[in-house]
Amino acid sequence: MENNLVIKDENLVEEFFGKKFKLRFVEEDTGKAALTHFVSSVGSEDRSYFEDRAIMYYKSLLEEQDVSHMAWSDSFEAIQYSLFDHKENIPFPEKENPKFKFIDLFAGIGGFRLALQELGGKCVFTSEWDDQAKKTYFANFGDIPFGDITKEETKSFIPDGFDVLCAGFPCQAFSIAGRRGGFEDTRGTLFFDVAEIIKRKRPKAFFLENVKGLRNHDKGRTLATILNVLRQDLGYFVPDPEIINARDFGVPQNRERIFIVGFRKDLGIDQFDYPEPIEEIVAFEDVKEENPVSVKYYLSTQYLKTLEDHRNRHLSKGNGFGFEIIPDDGVANAVVCGGMGRERNLVYDDRLEDFTPITHIKGEVNRRGIRKMTPREWARLQGYPDEFLIPVADASAYKQFGNSVAVPAIRATAEQILKKLGCF
C-alpha cells in the first residue's frame, strides 16, 4: 500500500478515501496527537485514553471533506490502514511484545524514546511543545506528540500503568528562600508538572535529565528542593544524582549532564549503580561526513576574520570565547543551540576543489577550508544513527540536536534502571 502520510513543508498531509487533509502543527490542537496515539494503542488498554478525542477530531475532518455520512466504524478501518502503513515505513517502529511501557515528556526529537525503544519499551504517551521538533519526532516514530504538558487537558491523556517516566525537563529558576523547599514551592516551574504526574500515576521508576549547572544552581538549593520533593513528598528511593559525560559512552563530544533516577519505594529497591564508562575511544573523524559537504557550511573569509578578531579581543581581556576549531582526532565541545553555538565546533575540511575562489550568499569561502559541522555530524555527536531522518531546515535541526540528549548515555543508564525493575 502506498504511504499515505508524508511530511510536506510545514504541514502534515493525510490522505483518506482519496482525499487529502492538510493539518497544521498547532500546539493547542490535541486532535492529531490523540489520533496517532489512538491508532498506536490498538489492542491495548491504553486506547481508551485517546478514543473520544481521536473520534471527535477525525469526524471534524470528515465534515470538512463532505464525507461525514460515513460511519466511524467504517472510516476507522481506513485510518488504521493509512497510519499503520506509515508506521511500517518509519525508521524506528516499536518492537513487538514490549517488555515495559514508558512516557516521554519534553520529548524534543525523541532521544529518550530512541534509547528506551531499543531496549524493548513501548512509548504510550509523548509530549513536546515545539512544532518543528514535532515534525522530526513524527517522521521517525510515527506519533505526533501532545503539546503543552502544563495544561490539564494534556495531562488527561496520560495512561495509567506505565513503568517509567522519562523527562529531560527544562530547569527554570525558582526561589525557596525562607521556605522548606517542598512540593508546593515548585509551583510555576516545569519540574512541578513532572512531579505532579509522578504523584498521580505512581510509575515504578523515573529518569530525569538536566544541565550540569542544576547541581550548583542557587548554591545547590534548587537541586535540594527537587530531591526533597522526589524523596519526601513523593516517596521514591532516589540515589544521589550523577554527572554523566556523553564522551564516556562512545560519542566524541564533551557533554556533561546530570541524571536523576528514582524507584517507587514499595518495590524494595534501595541501591542503584550508574553505568560505568565504556573503553571505546572515539574522535571527530569517526563521525565526520564521508563525502564533501555543501559549500554553504564553509565560512566566508569575512566572517572567519570577524570571529578571529572577536576571539582575540576577548582573549586579550582574559575572557574565554566559544570559537574553536576541532581537529579530526579531537573531541567536540557540547553542541548547543543559539548564540555562537555552531562556532564552538568548527572543523578543517579541504574537500572543496583546490579552494579556488568560491562564493556563496555570505561571500567568498575562506581558502583554509574551515567550516561548520553539518546537522548530520551533530546528530552523530549525539549518538543518533544515520537512519534518523532530519525533515526540517538546518536552523531547526541545529536547535533540535543541540537541545537533545546524548542517546548512548541515556541508553546505558536506562538499561541499569530496567535491570533493577526486572525487565531483563
Mean pLDDT score, 203-211: 96
- Kindly report, residue by residue over 241-258, the tens digit of the pLDDT: 999 999 999 999 999 999
> What is the average pLDDT value for the chain, to the nearest integer?
84
Q: Per the confidence metrics, is the pTM higher than 0.75? A: yes
Q: Please report the domains of the chain, with CATH numbers, ordered by start residue.
A: 1-89 (no CATH), 95-279+404-424 (3.40.50.150), 290-373 (no CATH)
Sign of the torsion angle spanned by Cα atoms 273, 279, 284, 285: negative
- Kindly report, residue by residue over 267-277, the tens digit of the pLDDT: 999 999 999 99
- Kindly report, residue by residue over 9-59, the tens digit of the pLDDT: 334 444 433 444 444 444 446 888 988 888 788 778 888 888 888 878 777
Of 102-116, 169-183, 332-346, which one has max mean pLDDT?
A: 102-116
What residue has cell string 471534524?
60
Instruction: Specify the DSSP class assigned to residue 315.
Output: H
Per cent of the chain over pLDDT 70 is 79
Are the beta carbons of 417 and 274 closer than 8 angstroms? no
Mean pLDDT score, 190-216: 94
Mean pLDDT score, 322-333: 90
* E strand or H helix at 205: strand 205-211
What residue has cell string 509523548?
126
How many other C-beta atoms are found inside a 10 Å radius of the C-beta of residue 66? 8
Residue 232: CB partners within 8 Å, gap ≥ 6? 182
Q: How far apart are CA 319 and CA 338, in angstroms?
A: 20
The residues annotated with a catalytic role in the active site are 171
| pLDDT at site 41 | 83
| pLDDT at site 323 | 78
HSE-CB of 56 using CA atoms within 13 angstroms: 9
Residue 218: CB partners within 8 Å, gap ≥ 6? 173, 175, 176
